[in-house]
């Protein structure tokens, strides 16, 4: 069906990009079935994340922002502190002035599992078919389109196949057996929900502490719990299964050691966290050389996983989904895939690079720490004077659903 518009799609992966893409495709008149490997939307191992204003903007483009807004904790401000307790600066995470003088919309924070639940709920409510326990193991082209093979022996056919299957994407390997593997980012991740509320903590203000030995972030929520995450440095990539074998006691001891001596509420917050702690390693994908072929395309983490330090993984997945659906609505394949890649690649690779740099700033040596703490207030102040911060470009992004995928009819935009 090369040269024709797609009418049906197999979406592999029911994380964030998958259900949003299926909803957007439905709006574009394309029937999509989501295949998720697990029996239910993924759990969260304690992780929570931000959907930034650019991610909310993309959801709004397809009328799907309200459930996420309702489920999230508005997070309009980020404050940076040093391990000595000194305030280094802060940024406003809203997208600028609100319409008609209304308060500017803010990004939201929510549990990863809750975001999955909300997006799946929205897809199911709109009649999207989601098949759980359906793991893709192979795919091949047919004269008409593509046939996908699943681990239970079943197959499915459609005009196009979309890999929304995350950083360890099977679809990426099927597209390019020599694709570079994910890159290890040398920080460990732990997170939790504490019953302690630090003195002076304001709900909705995310406080980031560049401690002497490790990075710590916390957010007091209106529910009375304080959500936190910690990033101790992790110099060497762990062996398979090594982190999973770590006990709650091991992680608590590591955090006690990492934050001893810092002037921050990290120790109290961790101590008042009732659930067992788990830790996970961080990986990103700076450049995936092949995003698509004639009938198959990647999006979200499968195409450009980013360190959580960018705070943009979920938001970029959502942007991708809406832009890809718009391309498939307006253009035949594979042109739709080419325009999608040209529209998205430069932006997402810049986000991944920024996430890598932020991760490095979280665990500098002693000299780097002193330099960072001296320079950061100047950088933040200079940005504030110009009415911007270093990451404003990530959040100032708009997806116009009604605009054509190609700016001028028949024109192919320049690469980049």
Ligand X SMILES: Cc1cc2nc3c(=O)[nH]c(=O)nc-3n(C[C@H](O)[C@H](O)[C@H](O)COP(=O)(O)OP(=O)(O)OC[C@H]3O[C@@H](n4cnc5c(N)ncnc54)[C@H](O)[C@@H]3O)c2cc1C
State the residues that interact with ligand X by CB under 6 A.
12-18, 35-38, 42, 45, 47, 49-50, 112, 135-136, 164-166, 170, 280, 300-302, 308, 311-314, 317
Closest distance of CB 353 from ligand X, Å: 15
Question: With respect to ligand X, which residue has the nearer C-beta, 1 or 11?
Answer: 11
End-to-end CA distance of the chain: 28
Closest CA to 331 of 297, 300, 305: 297
Q: What is the DSSP letter of 233?
A: B
Question: With respect to ligand X, which residue has the nearer C-beta, 133 or 261?
Answer: 133
Question: With respect to ligand X, which residue has the nearer C-beta, 270 or 317?
Answer: 317
Query: Are the C-beta atoms of 354 and 304 separated by less than 8 Å?
Result: no
Question: With respect to ligand X, which residue has the nearer C-beta, 1 or 308?
Answer: 308
Question: With respect to ligand X, which residue has the nearer C-beta, 38 or 275?
Answer: 38
Residues 6+ apart with CB under 8 A from 397: 54, 57, 319, 347
Which residue has the CB atom at the shortest distance from ligand X?
Answer: 15
Closest distance of CB 127 from ligand X, Å: 20
Query: Are the C-beta atoms of 39 and 380 separated by less than 8 Å?
Result: no
Question: With respect to ligand X, which residue has the nearer C-beta, 12 or 197?
Answer: 12
Closest distance of CB 63 from ligand X, Å: 19
Q: Which residues of 209-225 are buried (b: 16+ CB within 10 A; e: fewer)?
A: bbbbebbbbbbbbeeeb
Closest distance of CB 305 from ligand X, Å: 6
10 Å Cβ neighbour count for 125?
Answer: 10
Question: With respect to ligand X, which residue has the nearer C-beta, 149 or 293?
Answer: 149
Closest distance of CB 332 from ligand X, Å: 25
Helix axes 112-125, 17-27, angle to 10 degrees: 20
Closest distance of CB 54 from ligand X, Å: 12
Closest distance of CB 38 from ligand X, Å: 5
Q: What is the DSSP letter of 292?
A: B
Measure the CA–CA gap between 240 and 245, rounded to whole angstroms.
10
Question: With respect to ligand X, which residue has the nearer C-beta, 309 or 406?
Answer: 309
Closest distance of CB 227 from ligand X, Å: 10
Q: Which residues of 326-346 are buried (b: 16+ CB within 10 A; e: fewer)?
A: bbbbbbebbbbbbbbbbbbbe
Question: With respect to ligand X, which residue has the nearer C-beta, 90 or 166?
Answer: 166
Closest distance of CB 281 from ligand X, Å: 10
Q: How far is CA 84 from CA 57, 81, 265, 318, in A?
A: 37, 8, 12, 37
Can you say whether the dihedral through the CA atoms of 152, 154, 155, 156 is positive or negative?
Answer: negative
What are the φ and ψ backbone dihedral angles of 338, each rounded to 5 degrees? Answer: -65, -45
Query: Are the C-beta atoms of 303 and 320 separated by less than 8 Å?
Result: yes
């Amino acid at each position: 069906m090369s040269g024709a518009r797609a009418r049906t799609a197999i979406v592999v992966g029911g994380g964030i990009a998958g259900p949003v893409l299926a909803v957007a495709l439905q709006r574009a008149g394309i029937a999509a079935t989501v295949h998720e490997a697990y029996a239910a939307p993924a759990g969260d191992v304690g992780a929570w994340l931000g959907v930034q204003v650019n991610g909310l903007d993309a959801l709004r483009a397809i009328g799907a922002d309200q459930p996420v807004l309702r489920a999230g904790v508005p997070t309009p401000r980020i404050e940076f502190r040093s391990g000595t307790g000194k305030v280094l600066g802060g940024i406003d995470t809203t997208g600028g002035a609100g319409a008609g003088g209304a308060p500017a919309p803010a990004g939201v924070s929510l549990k990863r599992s809750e975001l999955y639940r909300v997006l799946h709920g929205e897809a199911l409510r709109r009649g999207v078919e989601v098949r759980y326990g359906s793991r893709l193991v192979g795919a091949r082209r047919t004269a008409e389109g593509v046939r996908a093979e699943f681990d239970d022996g079943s197959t499915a056919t459609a005009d196009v196949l979309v890999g929304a299957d995350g950083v360890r994407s099977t679809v990426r390997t099927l597209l390019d057996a020599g694709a570079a593997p994910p890159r290890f980012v040398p920080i460990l991740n732990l997170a939790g929900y504490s019953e302690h509320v630090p003195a002076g903590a304001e709900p909705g203000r995310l406080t980031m502490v560049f401690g002497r030995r490790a990075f710590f972030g916390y957010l007091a929520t209106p529910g009375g719990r304080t959500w936190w995450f910690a990033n101790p440095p992790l110099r060497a990539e762990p062996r398979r299964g090594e982190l999973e074998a770590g006990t709650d006691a091991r992680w608590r001891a590591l955090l006690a050691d990492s934050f001893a001596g810092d002037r921050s509420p990290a120790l109290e917050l961790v101590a008042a966290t009732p659930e067992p702690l788990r830790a996970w390693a961080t990986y990103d994908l700076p450049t995936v050389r092949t995003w698509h072929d004639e009938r198959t395309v990647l999006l979200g983490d499968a195409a450009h996983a980013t360190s959580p330090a960018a705070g943009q993984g979920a938001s970029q997945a959502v942007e991708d989904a809406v832009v890809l659906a718009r391309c498939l609505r307006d253009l035949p394949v594979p042109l739709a895939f080419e325009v999608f890649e040209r529209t998205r690649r430069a932006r997402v690779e810049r986000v991944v690079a920024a996430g890598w740099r932020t991760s490095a700033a979280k665990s500098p040596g002693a000299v780097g720490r002193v330099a960072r703490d001296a320079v950061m207030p100047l950088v933040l102040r200079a940005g504030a004077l110009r009415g911007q911060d270093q990451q404003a470009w990530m959040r100032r992004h708009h997806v116009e659903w009604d605009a054509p995928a190609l700016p001028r009819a028949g024109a192919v935009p320049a690469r980049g």
